[in-house]
Each structure stands twice: as structure tokens, then as C-alpha cells.
């Protein structure tokens, strides 16, 4: 009955949300957590840093064109409130997501201030992290609905009405895109307790 139930559940989009993340998880692994597939970027002691394998949807970095840093942008609010508290995660999964202290360094090319240190459950990578965790542009490429798509980073661009991004070819765009652009892809990252 167990195998038959698994086949029926899979056919109807039901999956075991309480499934344990293997202790043998390592960087490069793809795993299911909540309603999404995630790429493992780093494993440190009893925690793993994950980023969604694909873009979850388009969203503006901020809801209007104004100078803003990660600390005050609407995308941070969306990820840590709406997304974090959505049906994408069970209560058990939500409890595994660690609240993380995030540095928000300056843009390394333009010196634009990245703002205050934040504490978040869910976040976008910054420029340094996108460089560190992906070996090349090809590895940073992401898709949305099967097509190549660009995605936001939490770092500022040339000025604080822009935010850095990863372009459709996987290259880092340090110049940035206007923060109110609603066509930017969101690729959430989070640390989970193993």
C-alpha cells in the first residue's frame, strides 16, 4: 500500500512535507524543501544554505522608485512575511529555517552603501555571495516557467535607486536595475537547520 499511496500522491501533487533533509547533504545537491526545489550552496556544521533552483516569480525590489537599501525594500518584507508565512512551508519546515544575520556590503565597483546589517529568515544573495557560490556565469543562470530570466541580488547598483542583479546569461550586473522594475526574478535563499 505504501508504494501505491506514494504513486497516487505524486500523481496528484501531494508529497511528504515532513521528509527529513539528509545529514549527508552537500553543496551542489538539489532537494525538495517546502513547495520548491532548492540548490544547496553551502553546508556548515548542522546548517545548509539553499537557493531556489528556479525563479519563483517576478517581483519589484521595491514598490516605488526611491533610494532604498535591502533593509527597507519591499522585496525583503515580501520574502520574510508573505513568502515565509505562506502555504509553501509547513509549520515544521518553517521551524527549520534559521534567522540569519546578513551583512550588506557596499557595491564593490561603485562603492554604493549597502545599508545596515539585517536579520532575515529569507533573503536574496548579495554580489559577493553570488560570486562565491557559483563557479561561473553559466552556473548562475536561472529560469522562470522554462525560459531564461534575470534575478535580483540584495546589493545596491550604481546608486540606491538601482539594485544589482544576475542577467539572463548568468553574468553579474553591478550597475543594477531600477528598484521599482516589477519584471525582476526572485530566487530566495535561506539557511536551514539539518
Listing DSSP states for 68-114 in one string gives --GGG-HHHHIIIIIITTSTTS-HHHHHHEEPEEE--PPPTTT----
Give domain limits for the chain.
25-193
Q: Average pLDDT, stretch 11-24?
A: 57
pLDDT per residue over 49-61, tens digit each?
999 999 999 999 9
Q: What is the pLDDT of residue 12?
A: 39
Q: What is the pLDDT of residue 23?
A: 81
Q: Are 23 and 192 in contact (CB under 8 A)?
A: no
User: Looking at the predicted structure, is the pLDDT value of residue 3 above 50?
Assistant: no
pLDDT per residue over 97-142, tens digit each?
999 999 999 999 999 999 999 999 999 999 999 999 999 999 999 9
pLDDT per residue over 155-187, tens digit each?
999 999 999 999 999 999 999 999 999 999 999
Q: What is the pLDDT of residue 88?
A: 96
Q: What is the pLDDT of residue 15?
A: 39
Mean pLDDT for all residues in the chain: 92
Q: What is the pLDDT of residue 8?
A: 39
Q: What is the pLDDT of residue 89?
A: 97
Q: Are 41 and 25 in contact (CB under 8 A)?
A: no
Q: 6 pLDDT band (50/70/90 cuts)? A: very low
User: Looking at the predicted structure, is the pLDDT value of residue 17 above 90?
Assistant: no
Q: What is the pLDDT of residue 19?
A: 60
Amino acid at each position: 500500500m505504501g508504494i501505491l499511496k506514494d504513486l497516487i500522491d505524486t500523481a496528484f501533487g501531494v508529497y511528504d512535507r515532513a521528509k527529513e533533509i539528509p545529514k549527508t547533504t552537500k553543496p551542489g545537491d538539489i532537494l525538495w524543501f517546502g513547495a520548491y526545489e532548492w540548490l544547496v550552496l553551502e553546508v556548515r556544521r548542522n546548517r545548509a544554505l539553499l537557493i531556489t533552483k528556479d525563479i519563483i516569480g517576478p517581483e519589484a525590489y521595491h514598490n516605488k522608485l526611491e533610494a532604498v537599501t535591502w533593509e527597507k525594500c519591499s522585496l525583503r518584507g515580501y520574502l520574510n512575511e508573505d513568502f515565509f508565512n505562506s502555504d509553501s512551508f509547513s509549520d515544521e519546515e518553517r521551524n527549520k529555517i534559521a534567522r540569519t544575520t546578513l551583512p550588506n556590503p557596499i557595491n564593490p565597483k561603485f562603492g554604493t552603501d549597502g545599508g545596515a546589517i539585517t536579520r532575515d529568515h529569507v533573503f536574496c544573495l548579495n554580489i559577493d555571495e553570488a560570486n562565491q557560490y557559483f563557479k561561473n556565469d553559466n552556473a548562475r543562470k536561472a529560469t522562470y516557467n522554462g525560459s531564461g530570466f534575470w534575478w535580483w541580488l540584495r546589493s545596491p547598483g550604481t546608486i540606491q535607486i538601482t539594485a544589482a542583479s544576475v542577467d539572463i546569461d548568468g553574468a553579474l550586473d553591478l550597475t543594477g536595475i531600477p528598484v521599482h522594475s516589477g519584471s525582476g526574478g526572485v530566487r530566495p535563499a535561506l539557511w536551514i537547520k539539518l
